[in-house]
Structure 1
Amino acid sequence: MVNVIGLGYIGLPTALMLASHGVDVVGTDYNIELVKTLNEGHTTFKEKGLDDLFQDALQSGITFSTDYQATDMYIISVPTPYDKFSKKIDASYVIKAVESVLKVATKGAIIVIESTVSPGTMEKFIRPTVLNAGYELGSDIHLVHAPERIIPGNMVYELLHNNRTIGADDEFIGNKVKNIYSSFCQGEITVTDIKTAEMTKVVENTFRAVNIAFANELARICRHDNMDVYEIIKICNMHPRVNILQPGPGVGGHCISVDPWFLVGDYPSLTNVINQSMKTNDTQPDYVLNRIYEIMNENDIKDTKRVGLYGLTYKENVDDMRESPTLQLLESQHKHLASELKVYDPFISSDVVEYQYHDLDEFLKDIDMIVIMVKHDEIKQNLDKIKGKVVLDCHNIINLPDVYHI
């Protein structure tokens, strides 16, 4: 039996996927309400294909509990935030999860850490946790790092098809874990050492963060000299060895906006490009806010009450608001003056900010200017409704005259 610890955006889909492919699974989370909701037959967030996967897993016998199970394999998928001052990883959630597992684990149990960690985290924090509890590594307990590689909005597909990396001290143990993931993973699974596995996951997200920062910086250069950044990127990407990403209103989520800081925190003198790239991305919401003010002045819009931000999530067609550029923009505005910008997102049903709407038509009726912060399918399908509005399109999704861009 596999006990999956942490039933959030990564742990829950992983548990469901394992169960639906014949693995005996118990999902554990300390959140009583979350476990109660799952046991009542409801998922806890929106994700394409998740409800169907949930029903398959229920039929296969998955159960959910707040208790850690006595078994021989654990998959830990809990948050790994970073300290915003030192930029170093906060491994406390992983450490607490491992400590709880050790209280019930059977001899020879394998503890798989799926949470993204900085290189050396297993060595600095997790190994000492096991040893301090009186266990011998390699016989009483085996440690493995198998970082997730999925993105909200396409989790179910990517769990099935993405390649994976298994980091282990012992190749035999690595292959044992590989066999578990092979129950559903159709991609290539590479077995390597733990520190390599830690580094590859962080490097993947850092590469994307640096590429996004380059695109955002290009957008600022082109805005300064009245050039079309999207046309320039399109032409450049015709080169067979160039793949520039698109600029946007900022970077959110719990991967690209967080993981590169692990490297900056651990290697401050060696990460100049990464450090500056992260600063560029972090200041992009401020840049968008300044664009809003410029466009308001140009169109004689006097009151921020007549401006609406479309989108609260960090990416399209999900309900995940972690590190959302919209929330960053609102926080930035609050530092200078009370924010009266209106906000709407079709995926967020609860009130999370001031002046939030829950109906697109009502939202549009009360604004003169719309800022498209998130490219949800909904807005693409309702472009006729924003005709006559002043539009700042932060994603270049609207092919209409007089539309502003970042």
Structure 2
Amino acid sequence: MTDAPPTPRTGPLAGVVVLDVTRVVAGPFCAMMLADLGATVIKVENPNDPDYTRTFPPMIEADDGPTSAYYAQYNRNKQGISLDLRSDEGKALLKRLVRKANILIENFRPGVMDKLGLGYDVLRAENPRLVYTAISGYGRTGPNASRPGYDNSGQAAGGLWSMNGYPDQPPVRVGTIIGDLSASLYAATGTLAALRQAERTGIGQVVDISQQDAVLSLTEHAVIRHTVSGEIAGPLGNDHPFVRPYGQYPCADGYVFFGGYTDKFWAVTCALFGEPDMASDPRIDTMEKRFDAQVDAEIVTPLLHRWFARHTKAELEEMAGDAVPLSAIKTIDEVIADPHIAARGMIVDVPVAGQPVRMLGLPIKLSGDAGQPHGAAPALGEHNERVLQDLLGLEPGAVAALRERGVI
């Protein structure tokens, strides 16, 4: 058994009850953010087919077996119940829970919940105020709605994959599950907007989130470059399509990002590195001149290489300070050790198998929220008794009977 999340919940969403009928990341991450903000999140898993990220590494060894820190990162602060939604009793229990809930989040392929007899039309009959958030590969409408989708599907279908990598080489997927994560972020935003309306009007609604839509929204300039100018965005490596110098540059012990492309930043940079006259060199004295690809390759980039080669990442960051945009390109161990990241509370201790594990904090910072301890992710069905007895009023014997019949 894991440590129970802190109760009662505190924070801006205290009192909001969320049913989390999701698995993997696109969905659990959305519900975790709501939990971090104080909502009571009840994760619902099939007792015979639980969230398979419970098996994802890295694992923490404990007396009762290994526990996934990956699973814990996206399911902390939740209560967990096991419920077979294919059984009539399981469906009936979920409907009863819906009557007590403000929000339900699911990430099945569109139509699955309807086939289970638990679609939005059925559940809103139980609770007209329910906010029903559905996350899927392609959304609930459109010709591709029924297609299966993963994070890579979103990156591919949303255009981002085609833009990532280096010119004249095959595209490269973004090196994280940006489709899952961005869909979760949009889902959280949409869910809270729908909750606000439900509180005001007494009427809930469906929040329909597509991974493809989420990824497309991250392609920045690509759509308007094509619709306005007919250009098709392709891989640029570390370059920017219309700003220079603005990218990755080597230094004594690695690489930095430098973005001093404006005339102001360029003049400050030239002075920092002891060659202030370069700011007025007629070949590179304006932003427009420095953007020229040939000028950049022949003059600006060699100059930056010469300047930066003398210094380490840390030295360059110290020199740049608040004066010019320059950041070390940090490895993840360097990011975790960054004092600024610590000051922002972006690495937090969460109990996993009885020991603290450092993992991602919540990037949303509210001045009126003092924060709260981070509770562990639930073991499978850990809070069956708490939820079914306290929330639904079932007797202990009835809960035991449900377990014997395999419903929970």
Instruction: State which structure, 1 or 2, has the greater radius of gyration over its C-alpha atoms.
Output: 2
Answer 1 or 2: higher relative contact order, Cα 8 Å, separation at least 6.
2
TM-score with structure 2 length normalisation? Answer: 0.29
Output the TM-score relative to the length of structure 1. Answer: 0.29
